[in-house]
Amino acid sequence: MNIRSLKHFLALAETLHFGRASDECHISISALSRNIRQLEDEVGVSLFNRDNRTVTLTQEGKKFLKYARDTSNQWNMIRHELMDNSDQLHGEISLYGSVTASYSFLYELLSRFRIAYPSIEIKLRTGDPEHAIAHILDGKEDITIAARPANLPRGLAFKPLATSPLLFIAPLEQQVPNVPTLAPATSQEWANIPMILSESGVSRARVDEWFRQHGIVPRIYAQVTGNEAIVSMVSLGFGIGVVPKIVLENSPLMDRIQVLEVKPELAPYDIGLFALKKNLKNPMVEAFWNLM
């Protein structure tokens, strides 16, 4: 078994798609499929269930996934130690963040990192911010950018980058009778307004607590993943939403949205880097962490 086989396995395990995994590994689909079969022959079990439409990990594949991730991390660390005669770090780190995080933070951070460490390959994935911490805890990524939850999971390190207020937003012009363009004045008015909220995450926890404190049972019109989708739905007049200010400032729909003056305001949240504390021993992860 070689490290390349493990990297091919990891790519397929994380994408569950032969086309995307082969692109990531810069090999053909047939070569990737052949390498996976050879790996399964070596370990003596099937690691994936696959048919013409889907790819899923078997129970054995899920167990092997932890080994593959740990081994890949160990390989990167020992490789650095063996090449310690050079001041340049070599290897790969993986980052995860939302589209907004990519606009707001990662462009500057990656530019600085590339200048300081040109020999480190960076893998960047974007997705819903609610999943960012889970990606770290599951070992899928080395570093993520996300909002700090009220209770930080054990073994997780956090480095703050910025603080963003949470805003109630409404459409600039009233398009539906029960979606106002002014902040509701009473609990009854709030209860009649369709709300567009995140399915989960820090912002959802904050707004749920706000409603509880005011004795309001909100009328939830939609629960979505991704703050950008909330801005889109609010701009179309479907309801009132709650998003971080940083999302609104980076939205192309900002001119179709207005911020409601709601008192008391929602508590802001801290945005920053997350990594497993044990992974900070990895020289490349430590380099990115310390550069910030």
Going from N- to C-terminal start, the domains of the chain cover 1-78, 86-162+269-292, 166-267
CATH architecture of 86-162+269-292: 3-Layer(aba) Sandwich (3.40)
Cβ contact 242:166 at 8 Å: yes
Helices 59-82 and 3-15 cross at an angle (nearest 10°) of: 130
pLDDT on residue 80: 65
| Phi, psi for residue 49 in degrees, rounded to 5 | -95, 125
pLDDT on residue 276: 92
The 3-state DSSP composition of the chain as helix, strand, coil percent (nearest 5) reads: 45, 25, 30
For 262, the token pair is 């709601």
Does the pTM exceed 0.75?
no
Cβ contact 283:89 at 8 Å: yes
Q: Which of 43, 44, 46 is nearest to 58 (CA)?
A: 46
Same fold: 86-162+269-292 with 166-267? yes
Other Cβ atoms less than 10 A from the Cβ of 194: the count is 18
Q: What does the pLDDT profile of the chain (292 residues) look like in tens digits? A: 688 888 899 989 988 999 989 888 888 898 899 999 999 999 999 999 988 788 999 999 999 998 888 888 788 777 766 666 556 777 788 899 887 887 788 888 888 888 888 888 888 888 888 888 888 988 888 999 988 988 888 899 999 999 999 999 999 887 777 787 788 888 888 998 999 999 888 889 999 999 999 999 999 999 988 888 999 999 999 999 999 998 898 889 999 999 999 989 998 889 999 999 988 988 888 889 988 7
* Alpha carbon of residue 142 to chain centroid: 12
User: What is the helix (H) or strand (E) element at residue 122, kind and residue range?
Assistant: strand 120-126
pLDDT on residue 122: 86
β-pair partners for 164: 269
pLDDT on residue 87: 62
> What's the CATH number of domain 166-267, 3.40.190.10, 3.20.20.70, 3.40.1190.20, 3.40.640.10?
3.40.190.10
* Domain 1-78 sits in CATH 2.10.109.10: no
